[in-house]
Amino acid sequence: MTETTYRIQGASGEWEVVIGLEVHAQVSSNAKLFSGAATAFGAEPNSQVSLIDAAMPGMLPVPNKECIRQAVRTGMAINAEINKYSRFDRKNYFYADLPQGYQISQLYHPIVGEGSLTIEADEKAGIPEDKVIGIERIHVEQDAGKLMHDQHPTMSYVDLNRVGVALMEIVSRPDMRSPAEAGAYVSKLRQILRYVGSCDGNMDQGSMRADVNVSVRRPGGELGTRTETKNVNSVRFVMQAIEHEASRQVDVLESGGKIVQETRLFDPNTGSTRSMRSKEDAHDYRYFPDPDLLPLILEDAFLEDCRASLPELPDAKKARYENELGLSAYNAQVLTADVDTARWFEVLLGETAKAAGKAPAEVSKQAANWLISELFGALNKLGTSLEESPVTPEKGGALLALIAKGTISGSAAKQVLEIMLETGDEAEAIVEREGLKQESDTGAIEAEVDTILAANADKVEQYKAGKVALFGFFVGQTMKAMKGKGNPQVVNEILKAKLG
Partner 1 sequence: MTELTELGVAAIRDGVKAGDFTAVEVADAFNANVAAAQEALNAFIIATPEKATEAAKATDARRAAGEDLGKMGGVPIGMKDLFATFDVQTTAASHILEGFKPQYESTVSQNLWNAGAGMLGKLNLDQFAMGSSNETSYFGNVISPWRKAGSNAPLAPGGSSGGSSAALAARLCPAATGTDTGGSIRQPAAFTGTTGIKPTYGRCSRWGVVAFASSLDQAGPMARSTQDCAIMLEAMAGFDPKDATSLELPVPNWEALLSADLSGKTVGIPREYRMDGMDAEIVALWDQGVAWLKDAGAKVIDISLPHTKYALPTYYIIAPAEASSNLARYDGVRYGLRDLPDGANLQDMYAATRAAGFGAEVKRRILIGTYVLSAGFYDAYYTQAQKVRTLISQDFAKAFEECDVILAPTTPTAAFALGENVDDPLSMYLNDVFSVPASLAGLPAMSVPAGLSKDGLPLGLQIIGKAFDEQGVLNAGLAIEQRAQFTAKPEKWW
Residues near partner 1 (CB under 8 A) = 51, 54-63, 90, 92, 94-96, 99-102, 156, 158, 284, 286-288, 291-294
Those residues whose C-beta lies under 8 Å from the C-beta of residue 119, and which sit 6 or more positions away, are: 127, 130, 131, 133, 181, 184, 185, 188
Minimum CB distance to partner 1 smaller for 155 or for 308: 155
As a whole number of angstroms, the distance between CA 68 and CA 57 comes to 26
Q: Taking the mean position of all CA atoms in its chain, how far away is CA 52? A: 34
As a whole number of angstroms, the distance between CA 244 and CA 160 comes to 33
CB of 58 to partner 1, least distance (A): 4
As a whole number of angstroms, the distance between CA 114 and CA 301 comes to 22
DSSP-derived letter for residue 206 is T
As a whole number of angstroms, the distance between CA 493 and CA 119 comes to 47
Minimum CB distance to partner 1 smaller for 41 or for 288: 288
Cβ(15)–Cβ(216) below 8 Å: yes
Those residues whose C-beta lies under 8 Å from the C-beta of residue 461, and which sit 6 or more positions away, are: none
Minimum CB distance to partner 1 smaller for 100 or for 407: 100
Nearest to 239 by CA among 289, 191, 184: 184
Q: Crossing angle, helix 410-423 and helix 393-404, to 10 degrees?
A: 160
Minimum CB distance to partner 1 smaller for 92 or for 263: 92
CB of 213 to partner 1, least distance (A): 21
- Apex 398 CA angle, 393 and 400, nearest 5: 90
CB of 39 to partner 1, least distance (A): 19
Which burial class, exposed, middle or buried, applies to 53 when counting CB atoms under 10 A from its CB (0-12, 13-18, 19+)? buried
As a whole number of angstroms, the distance between CA 99 and CA 34 comes to 14
CB of 55 to partner 1, least distance (A): 4
CB of 267 to partner 1, least distance (A): 23
CB of 85 to partner 1, least distance (A): 16
Cβ(331)–Cβ(298) below 8 Å: no
Minimum CB distance to partner 1 smaller for 294 or for 497: 294
For the chain, the first-to-last Cα distance in angstroms comes to 57
Instruction: Give phi and psi for 193, each to the nearest 5.
Output: -60, -40
CB of 375 to partner 1, least distance (A): 49
CB of 99 to partner 1, least distance (A): 6
Minimum CB distance to partner 1 smaller for 89 or for 169: 89
Instruction: Show the 3-state SS of 256-281.
Output: CCCCCCEEEEEECCCCEEEEEEEHHH
Minimum CB distance to partner 1 smaller for 89 or for 346: 89
CB of 53 to partner 1, least distance (A): 10
As a whole number of angstroms, the distance between CA 208 and CA 169 comes to 10
CB of 167 to partner 1, least distance (A): 19
Q: Taking the mean position of all CA atoms in its chain, how far away is CA 349? A: 20
As a whole number of angstroms, the distance between CA 482 and CA 448 comes to 8
Minimum CB distance to partner 1 smaller for 58 or for 256: 58
Write out the E strands in 155-198: 157-159, 166-172
As a whole number of angstroms, the distance between CA 259 and CA 242 comes to 15
CB of 62 to partner 1, least distance (A): 5
